[in-house]
């Protein structure tokens, strides 16, 4: 199945790549080839080795052994310069743009057009910058600074930058995770165009539906090993999942029966100026309430309001029938609430601290007598939660920043679960997490619900909403536009409600 | 993402807002300075005196020269606290060297002083790039070390006018087109740095490094090289200022230059150079230096304790930073 060296269609050919990275066998006898004019998806659970491979392609790290051929010629990509020289570009979104510099400057950084006397030719640069943007169908003022652009626009600038550098290979890592549906469509249109221009796109994504939509071939890694490469048209989603996980996941989402308990939280006419209004709903013990909507629906804002981070302007919240005024997360926590934020790195973890400290953070008082912390008690609790959630780590003393995304999320969950909450708000709990860990998190959610925990689950992934929720609420631009029980929910109904206001349709009435 | 990523903002026009804000801020500084000048004139007739004006311009010029270097350091999210000691050390070294040498060519003196400044700047650069010391710590240390060297060189003595060649004193006083040479030095430096920042790749790299240090590697910007050059330039400019200081004031003491680092940082920050890094223009430096120069002069001619200037500079820095931070927070800059 592999393309041989003489095949001109192959632009990047990697064989027998081994890499030990930070004490772990990151890649073991891995193969990968990329053809000209294809969109090639790279999938695998977290820790499978995808980002290690990408770092090697980009010249950030070197393989311990193995061969790399570019357009048939053996190469050694010793540093990012060489990678760039070969025409390899990575689309990182905000991570590699300069906010204080203009669009044109960012596009040409490092190779600004010069005038005859050796200075930067601003007029030429601004003129030339318009071309790739026009080609991409993007309308941007090239003189404006990057600061303030949306994620989608920044991606476009990155792509324009890659085009100007005549990139042959574009690497995109989870490019759609921060985009609206509309922006994703734009992105895919552009990816297809790049492919038709005979460029190659290496696409890492956890969103299997997208892979089937846009990729030509898909390569699967698992635990640092090469599993297989297939033409997308020849396989199904189940096949793909099986390759990734190595076992048959008959159901991605565990089925469970719910005995819905009494109302534990009731919200009436909650409003926050400029963000959301007229939010009313009830939450029962033992149920999972899915909160669906598009990016911008203001679901996270609702969550942070409920949890006391950004108190509401008006409206009432009742917990167990008693009216409460939650102005601070501490109050929310004392009422038995826990909030697992969307951005685990920024808001959920102390990256430079170890697992123990992260887990014990909200309950540290339990281990403190006078001024001193009983480290032993702390460790015991941390170990308990660590094992309960099956966190894969080198030990409790490992720093949070060294964990993979999925395990980081488990630590955040462990932290909040250790507070023994009654109401758990999860904001995109499985975003950016591999299938295996996703299933584990879902199973845990089901278990918690069956033990009486009330869960609000914010998710942008429809399969997750449909598979996990007992009831689904849909928000659109700060309003509740739909409410369905599990049996009557469907992708179409949810989508319709999620776009209700943007399409200027009369809002779907709440059931 | 629903929650705003740090760079995403509701206001799509934040870039034009940013430009507008900068312009208004600059105009604001000008307005405040003019108002202040008006107020002082009313209070004190000495202010509009030509000699007094020259004093103000001298102070402003020296500040501008060194603050241009400080600006570069601040842009790359660093700082150069040692400039005050470099000024003092170079002034003392040059002063001692040409003392009693009444025939020594001035051109060479200038070269020596600048060379010494390059050396000291290079030391800072190495401490920060090779030594990997944070700029604050590195330049704090070098500030102390260089200041100590002043005493070592001088043995506690001062250098005084009567023992310095008149030609040296003329270095800053000679009139070119009716304007004292010192001012021309400042103009030259200001224009030079402006051109460098706008038209050279190095200038782009300096802004880029300060704007997003993490992206700098991937973009192929040689971080260490750029950082080294920045501190080299800062040291060089401070060295130049040192000679000019000695030439202008005609005497060098062990305390020459003390507190000057604060002055340059204040000039930058008050003038509009962002403390977060990534942006700043020579115009900001000039405006800041102008305002500070007026204030300093006002204190002197009103017979207010000159040490009050330190307090005022400090208050100004805080006000400017708080003001800017509030605005930048609105824009969501991280």
CB proximity list for A133: less than 8 A, separation 6 or greater: A103, A139, A140, A142, A156, A160
Q: Which of A99, A149, A295 sits opposite B211 (nearest CB)?
A: A99
- State whether A95 and B11 contact (CB < 8 Å): no
* Contact list, B198 vs chain A (CB under 8 Å): 119-120, 122
- State whether A94 and B199 contact (CB < 8 Å): no
Q: How far is B72 from chain A (nearest CA, A)?
A: 15
pLDDT higher than threshold 60 for residue A501? no
CB proximity list for A500: less than 8 A, separation 6 or greater: A474, A476, A481, A482, A506, A507, A508
- State whether B7 and A147 contact (CB < 8 Å): yes
Do A232 and A147 fall within a single domain?
Answer: yes
A288-293/A471-476 β-pairing: parallel
Joined together, the tokens standing for residue A472 give 């689904």
Does residue A255 belong to any structural domain of this protein? no
Does residue A250 belong to any structural domain of this protein? no
Do A457 and A413 fall within a single domain?
Answer: no
Do A56 and A189 fall within a single domain?
Answer: yes
How confident is the model at residue B126, as a pLDDT?
A: 97
**Does residue A486 sit at the B interface (CB-CB below 8 Å)?**
no
Joined together, the tokens standing for residue B115 give 């060379």
* Burial environment of residue A376 by CB neighbours within 10 A (0 to 12, 13 to 18, 19 or more): exposed
Return the domain boundaries, chain B.
Answer: 55-331
Confidence of residue A257 (pLDDT cuts 50, 70, 90): low
Q: How far is B60 from chain A (nearest CA, A)?
A: 28
Domain count, chain A: 3
- What is the pLDDT of chain B when averaged over all its residues? 87
- State whether A301 and B3 contact (CB < 8 Å): yes
Q: How far is A140 from chain B (nearest CA, A)?
A: 11
pLDDT higher than threshold 80 for residue A169? yes
How confident is the model at residue A460, as a pLDDT?
A: 80
* Contact list, A92 vs chain B (CB under 8 Å): 215, 218
Confidence of residue B9 (pLDDT cuts 50, 70, 90): very low
Does residue A264 belong to any structural domain of this protein? yes
Q: How far is A147 from chain B (nearest CA, A)?
A: 6
Share of residues in chain B with pLDDT > 90 (%): 50
* Contact list, A158 vs chain B (CB under 8 Å): none
Q: Which of A80, A151, A298 sits opposite B5 (nearest CB)?
A: A151
Boundary (domain end) residue, out of A397, A420, A443: A420
**Does residue A126 sit at the B interface (CB-CB below 8 Å)?**
no
Interface A-B, measured as beta-carbon pairs within 8 A, has a size of 117
Do A429 and A285 fall within a single domain?
Answer: yes
The whole-number average pLDDT for the span A371-387 is: 88
Instruction: Tell me which residues of chain A, numbers 85 to 104, contact chain B at a CB-CB cutoff of 8 Å.
Output: 90, 92, 94-101
Do A124 and A193 fall within a single domain?
Answer: yes
How confident is the model at residue A503, as a pLDDT?
A: 36
The whole-number average pLDDT for the span B199-214 is: 94
- State whether B5 and A297 contact (CB < 8 Å): no
Q: Which of A99, A105, A296 sits opposite B212 (nearest CB)?
A: A99
Q: Which of A94, A141, A144 sits opposite B5 (nearest CB)?
A: A94
Domain holding A363, by residue range, is 346-420
Do A219 and A274 fall within a single domain?
Answer: no
Does residue A2 belong to any structural domain of this protein? no
Mean pLDDT is highest, among A473-477, B46-50, B112-116, for B112-116
pLDDT higher than threshold 70 for residue A426? yes
Q: How far apart are the first and last CA of chain A?
A: 54
A101-156 residue pLDDT tens: 999 999 998 888 998 888 999 999 999 999 999 888 888 899 998 888 888 888 88
8 A C-beta contact, residue A349 and residue A412: yes
Alpha-carbon distance A302 to A312, whole Å? Answer: 9
Do A278 and A235 fall within a single domain?
Answer: no
Q: What b/e readout covers A161-189, taking b as 16+ CB neighbours within 10 angstroms? A: bbbbbebbbbbbbbbbbbbbeebbebbbe
Boundary (domain end) residue, out of A372, A389, A420: A420
* Contact list, B6 vs chain A (CB under 8 Å): 94
8 A C-beta contact, residue B253 and residue B158: yes
Does residue A318 belong to any structural domain of this protein? yes
- State whether B1 and A343 contact (CB < 8 Å): yes
8 A C-beta contact, residue B170 and residue B162: no
**Does residue A375 sit at the B interface (CB-CB below 8 Å)?**
no
8 A C-beta contact, residue A161 and residue A120: no
Does residue A1 belong to any structural domain of this protein? no
- What is the pLDDT of chain A when averaged over all its residues? 85
Does residue A4 belong to any structural domain of this protein? no
The whole-number average pLDDT for the span B221-250 is: 94
ipTM: 0.84
In Å, what is the CA distance from A475 to each residue of A174, A376, B312?
24, 45, 53
- State whether B198 and A120 contact (CB < 8 Å): yes
Q: Which of B12, B16, B333 sits opposite A99 (nearest CB)?
A: B333
How confident is the model at residue B66, as a pLDDT?
A: 97
Q: Which of A105, A148, A299 sits opposite B204 (nearest CB)?
A: A105
Q: What is the CATH number of the domain that holds A436?
A: 3.40.50.300
Nearest chain A Cα to B198, which residue? A120
* Contact list, A141 vs chain B (CB under 8 Å): 15
The whole-number average pLDDT for the span B143-158 is: 91
Confidence of residue A254 (pLDDT cuts 50, 70, 90): low
Confidence of residue A504 (pLDDT cuts 50, 70, 90): very low
Alpha-carbon distance B289 to B267, whole Å? Answer: 5
Contact residues of B toward A, CB < 8 A:
1-3, 5-9, 11-18, 195, 198-201, 203-204, 207-208, 210-212, 214-215, 217-221, 274, 278-279, 331-333
Q: How far is B134 from chain A (nearest CA, A)?
A: 19
- State whether A141 and B15 contact (CB < 8 Å): yes
- State whether A147 and B331 contact (CB < 8 Å): yes
How much helix, strand and coil, in percent to the nearest 5, is found in chain B? 75, 0, 25
**Does residue A510 sit at the B interface (CB-CB below 8 Å)?**
no
B72-94 residue pLDDT tens: 999 999 999 999 999 999 999 98
Do A209 and A178 fall within a single domain?
Answer: yes
Four-residue CA torsion sign, A233, A234, A239, A240: negative
In Å, what is the CA distance from B108 to each residue of B66, B163, B171?
21, 18, 12
Q: How far is B4 from chain A (nearest CA, A)?
A: 9
Does residue A253 belong to any structural domain of this protein? no
pLDDT higher than threshold 50 for residue B113? yes
**Does residue A178 sit at the B interface (CB-CB below 8 Å)?**
yes
pTM of the shown model:
0.74
Boundary (domain end) residue, out of A365, A391, A420: A420
Do A157 and A306 fall within a single domain?
Answer: no
How confident is the model at residue A249, as a pLDDT?
A: 46
* Contact list, B12 vs chain A (CB under 8 Å): 148
Do A403 and A459 fall within a single domain?
Answer: no
């Amino acid at each position: 199945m592999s393309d041989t060296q003489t095949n001109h269609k192959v632009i990047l050919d990697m064989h027998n790549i081994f890499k030990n990275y930070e004490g772990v066998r990151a890649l073991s006898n891995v193969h990968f080839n990329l053809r000209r004019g294809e969109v090639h998806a790279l999938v695998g659970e977290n820790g499978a080795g995808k980002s290690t491979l990408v770092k090697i392609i980009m010249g950030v790290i070197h393989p311990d052994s193995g061969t790399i051929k570019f357009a048939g010629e053996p190469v050694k990509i010793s540093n990012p310069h060489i990678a760039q020289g070969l025409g390899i570009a990575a689309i990182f979104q905000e991570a590699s743009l300069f906010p204080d510099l203009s669009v044109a400057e960012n596009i040409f950084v490092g190779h600004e057009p010069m005038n005859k006397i050796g200075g930067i030719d601003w007029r030429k640069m601004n003129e030339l910058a318009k071309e790739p943007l026009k080609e991409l169908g993007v309308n941007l003022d090239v003189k404006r600074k990057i600061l303030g652009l949306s994620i989608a626009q920044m991606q476009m600038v990155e792509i324009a930058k890659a085009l100007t550098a005549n990139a042959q290979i574009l690497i995109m890592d989870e490019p759609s995770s921060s985009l609206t549906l509309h922006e994703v469509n734009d992105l895919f249109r552009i990816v297809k165009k790049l492919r038709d221009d005979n460029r190659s796109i290496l696409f890492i994504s956890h969103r299997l539906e997208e892979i089937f939509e846009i990729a030509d071939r898909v390569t699967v890694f698992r635990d640092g090993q090469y599993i297989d490469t297939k033409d997308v048209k020849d396989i199904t989603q189940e096949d793909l999942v099986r390759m990734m996980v190595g076992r048959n996941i008959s159901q991605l989402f565990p089925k469970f029966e719910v005995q819905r308990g009494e109302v534990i939280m009731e919200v009436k006419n909650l409003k926050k100026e400029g963000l959301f209004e007229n939010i009313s709903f009830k939450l029962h013990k033992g149920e999972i309430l899915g909160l669906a909507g598009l990016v911008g629906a203001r679901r996270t804002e609702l969550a942070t309001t409920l949890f006391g981070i950004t108190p509401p302007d008006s409206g009432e919240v009742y917990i167990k029938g008693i009216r409460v005024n939650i102005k601070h997360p501490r109050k929310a926590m004392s009422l038995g609430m826990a909030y697992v934020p969307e951005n685990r790195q920024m808001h959920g973890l102390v990256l430079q601290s170890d697992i123990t400290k992260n887990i014990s953070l909200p309950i540290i008082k339990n281990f403190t007598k006078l001024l001193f912390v009983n480290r032993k008690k702390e460790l015991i609790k941390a170990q308990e939660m660590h094992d309960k959630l099956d966190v894969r780590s080198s030990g409790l003393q490992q720093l949070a920043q060294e964990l993979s995304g999925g395990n980081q999320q488990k630590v955040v969950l462990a932290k909040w679960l250790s507070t023994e909450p009654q109401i758990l708000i999860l904001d995109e709990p499985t975003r950016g997490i591999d299938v295996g860990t996703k299933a584990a998190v879902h199973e845990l959610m089901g278990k918690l619900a069956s033990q009486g925990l009330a869960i609000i689950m914010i998710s942008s992934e429809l399969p997750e909403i449909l598979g996990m929720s007992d009831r689904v609420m849909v928000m659109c631009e700060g309003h509740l536009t739909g409410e369905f029980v599990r049996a009557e929910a469907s992708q179409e109904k949810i989508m319709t409600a999620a776009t209700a206001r943007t399409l200027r349709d009369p809002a779907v009435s709440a059931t | 993402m629903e929650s705003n990523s740090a760079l995403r903002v509701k206001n799509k026009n934040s870039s034009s807002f940013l430009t507008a804000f900068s312009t208004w801020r600059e105009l604001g500084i000008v307005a405040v300075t003019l108002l202040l000048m008006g107020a002082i004139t009313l209070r004190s007739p000495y202010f509009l005196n030509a000699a007094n004006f020259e004093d103000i311009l001298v102070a402003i010029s020296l500040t501008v020269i060194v603050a241009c270097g400080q600006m570069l350091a601040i842009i790359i999210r660093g700082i150069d606290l040692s400039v005050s000691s470099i000024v003092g050390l170079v002034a003392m070294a040059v002063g001692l060297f040409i003392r009693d040498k009444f025939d020594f060519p001035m051109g060479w003196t200038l070269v020596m002083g600048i060379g010494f400044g390059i050396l000291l700047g290079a030391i800072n650069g190495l401490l920060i790039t090779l030594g990997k010391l944070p700029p604050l710590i590195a330049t704090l240390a070098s500030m102390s070390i260089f200041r100590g060297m002043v005493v070592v060189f001088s043995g506690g003595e001062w250098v005084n006018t009567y023992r310095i060649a008149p030609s040296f004193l003329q270095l800053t006083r000679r009139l070119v087109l009716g304007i004292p040479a010192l001012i021309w030095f400042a103009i030259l430096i200001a224009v030079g740095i402006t051109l460098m920042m706008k038209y050279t790749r190095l200038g782009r790299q300096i802004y880029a490094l300060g704007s997003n240090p993490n992206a700098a590697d991937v973009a192929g910007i040689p971080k260490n090289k750029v950082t080294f050059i920045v501190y080299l330039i800062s040291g060089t400019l401070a060295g130049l200022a040192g000679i000019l200081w000695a030439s202008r004031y005609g005497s060098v003491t062990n305390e020459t230059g003390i507190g000057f680092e604060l002055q340059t940082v204040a000039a930058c920050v008050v003038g509009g150079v962002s403390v977060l890094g990534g942006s700043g223009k020579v115009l900001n430096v000039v405006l800041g230096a102008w305002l500070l120069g007026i204030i300093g002069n006002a204190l002197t001619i009103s017979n207010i304790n000159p040490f009050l200037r330190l307090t005022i500079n400090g208050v100004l820095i805080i006000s400017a930073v708080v003001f800017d931070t509030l605005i930048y927070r609105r824009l969501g800059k991280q």
